[in-house]
Amino acid sequence: MMTDELDSLLEWFDLKDEIRTGWGLRNIDAPESVAAHTWGTASLCLLYADKEGVNRQKSVMMALIHDLGEARTGDIATRAEDGRQTTPTSEKEAAERSAVTDLVEPFRDTKLLSLWEEYEARDTPTAQFVKDMDLIDNCLQALKYESQGRYDEAEANDHFVEFENLDEFFATAAPRFRTDLGQGLFEQIKSQYERELGRTCQL
């Protein structure tokens, strides 16, 4: 193994320790890492690619690479509340593009960068499917945290003013689905979440 590959690998592995920002803001007990989210997204692609009619191997590979840039940029949460999105999308994408380019370069595999670029563009059925599975992973995790009581809903939290419980995580996902499969899974997960709460989710 060459030194530049080893250095890059060590930075890739920072994703194992990078906590997902949204869960941290909500004071979730022992929140997942970006790497855990990546695994969840890749697993969903593995399970549902055939149902969506996209290539399973390609979608899993795309899922594994989709948040790689966060090893360097950190996780910048998508917010639904007005004024809470501190980093413009264009700025976030530029920083992640630079990071991904650097992190895959030592391996001389141009396909990895191409997959990331395709995911970001959302112009292909595969990219749209993978993004939907990314959103579904987030909603599943919200349901899991809610059902396990992994946060104190009575605790004052200035990061969440307009939304109760974990509603904002559903609100950020709701308008972004591009596939019927993703929308259908979302509705099932949201319904179970609402049963846990005993009320309708704010969207």
pLDDT at 81: 66
What number is the average pLDDT over the span 5-16? 97
Instruction: Name residue 33's beta-bridge partners.
Output: 19
pLDDT band at 1 (very low <50, low <70, confident <90, very high): low
Task: Please return the burial class of 201, using the count of CB atoms within 10 Å of its CB with bins 0-12, 13-18 and 19+.
Answer: buried
State pLDDT tens for residues 83-115: 666 777 778 889 999 999 999 999 999 999 999
Look up residue 158 and give its two tokens: 């200035």
Per-residue H/E/C for the chain: CCHHHHHHHHHHHHHHCCECHHHHHCCCCCCCEHHHHHHHHHHHHHHHHHHHCCCHHHHHHHHHHCCCCHHHHCCCCCCCCCCCCCCCHHHHHHHHHHHHHHHHHHHCCHHHHHHHHHHHHCCCHHHHHHHHHHHHHHHHHHHHHHHHCCCCCCCCCCCCCCCCCCHHHHHHHHHHCCCHHHHHHHHHHHHHHHHHHCCCCCC
Lowest mean pLDDT among 76-80, 100-104, 120-124: 76-80
pLDDT at 84: 65
pLDDT at 85: 64
pLDDT at 195: 98
Domains and CATH numbers, the chain: 3-197 (1.10.3210.10)
Sign of CA dihedral 194, 131, 175, 178: negative
pLDDT at 68: 97
CA distances from 180 to 53, 129, 186 (A): 12, 10, 10
pLDDT at 2: 76
Share of the chain above pLDDT 90, in %: 83
What number is the average pLDDT over the span 151-162? 89
Look up residue 154 and give its two tokens: 């009575």
pLDDT at 163: 92
What number is the average pLDDT over the span 182-196? 98
pLDDT at 73: 93
State pLDDT tens for residues 40-56: 999 999 999 999 999 99
115 within 8 A of 65, measured Cβ to Cβ: yes
pLDDT at 99: 96
State pLDDT tens for residues 15-35: 999 999 999 999 999 999 999
Lowest mean pLDDT among 40-44, 75-79, 86-90, 181-185: 86-90
pLDDT band at 76 (very low <50, low <70, confident <90, very high): confident
What number is the average pLDDT over the span 140-156? 95
